[in-house]
A and B are shown apart, each in its own frame.
Chain A
Amino acid sequence: GDSVTQMEGPVTLSEEAFLTINCTYTATGYPSLFWYVQYPGEGLQLLLKATKADDKGSNKGFEATYRKETTSFHLEKGSVQVSDSAVYFCALIQGAQKLVFGQGTRLTINP
C-alpha cells in the first residue's frame, strides 16, 4: 500500500540555520503531497502542498518540490526561527481519499 517515510528526528538547529527534512513516498499512482505542521498543544495545520510532478509548494519561507523521479517531497527553509519549532508531517493522498502520514519530525530551534 501507499506509504510515507520521513527522516528520523528529533532535529535541533540554531536560529538562522538552513533546514531540510527529507520525505519519500511509495505510491502506485500520482498522489498529491502535503506538509503539515503541529505546534505544541494544537492540531495539524497545512503548511504547503503540491498536486503534480515538478510542482513547488511554498508558505512562510518553507518550500518543497514534488519530485516524481526520486519519489520525494523534501521540506526546506533557508533561515529558521525559534517560532518554527514544531512537529512536521509529510503526507500523501490518492485514490481511496485517506491521507497517509509519515511518522513526523520534531524540530527544535535554539536562539
Chain B
Amino acid sequence: DVKVTQSSRYLVKRTGEKVFLECVQDMDHENMFWYRQDPGLGLRLIYFSYDVKMKEKGDIPEGYSVSREKKERFSLILESASTNQTSMYLCASRPGRVTTEAFFGQGTRLTVV
C-alpha cells in the first residue's frame, strides 16, 4: 500500500514562529502537493512539486514556502506563522501520469496562537 506520512497530527505554535510541516511518501512518486482545508472552503492548493528541487505555486502560496531536496520528502514552511494560518494541512503524492489518483496523508491540524 502507498503510504504518505505527515510528521505531526497536531501542532500548536506561537505567532511569528517558523514552522515546518514534513511529508514523506514511500512509493517513488514524482508529484507531491500541499493543501489546506478550511470549513466552507474545501481544499485549496498551496504548492506542488513535480520533481526534486522543482516547485510551483498553487492557488494560495502567500505566507508559505516549500522544499523538496529528496524525491520522497516535501516540506511546507511557514516563515512567520500567523493566526490566519490555523488550519488543517494535507499532503498528497501521485505518480506523474495523468489518469492516476493522488494519495493523502492523515493531515496536520495546526493551531497558531
Contact = CB atoms under 8 A, between A and B. Distances in A.
Contacts of A34: 101
B106 A42 contact: yes
Interface residues of B, number: 26
A95 interface: yes
A43 B33 contact: no
Interface residues of A, number: 21
B42 A97 contact: no
A101 B96 CA distance: 18
Interface-centre pick from B90, B92, B102, B106 (highest chain A CB count, 10 A): B102
Interface stretch (A19-27, A45-53, A67-75, A76-84): A45-53
B52 to A, nearest CB: 16
A40 B45 CA distance: 21
Given A43-B90, A89-B43, A97 B50 contact: yes
A97 B41 contact: no
Contacts, number: 56
Interface of B: 4, 31, 33, 35, 40-43, 45, 48, 50, 58, 90, 92, 94, 96, 98-107
Contact of B98 (A44, A49, A95, A104): A95
A32 B99 CA distance: 6
A49 B100 CA distance: 9
B98 A42 contact: no
Interface in A56-111: 89, 93-95, 97-99, 101-104
Contacts of A98: 31, 33, 45, 48, 58
Contacts of B105: 43
Given A93-B98, A99-B102, A44 B42 contact: no
B42 A99 contact: no
B90 A103 contact: no
A21 to B, nearest CB: 14
7 contacts: A42-B106, A44-B90, A89-B42, A89-B43, A97-B48, A103-B42, A104-B42
B58 A49 contact: no
A44 B41 contact: no
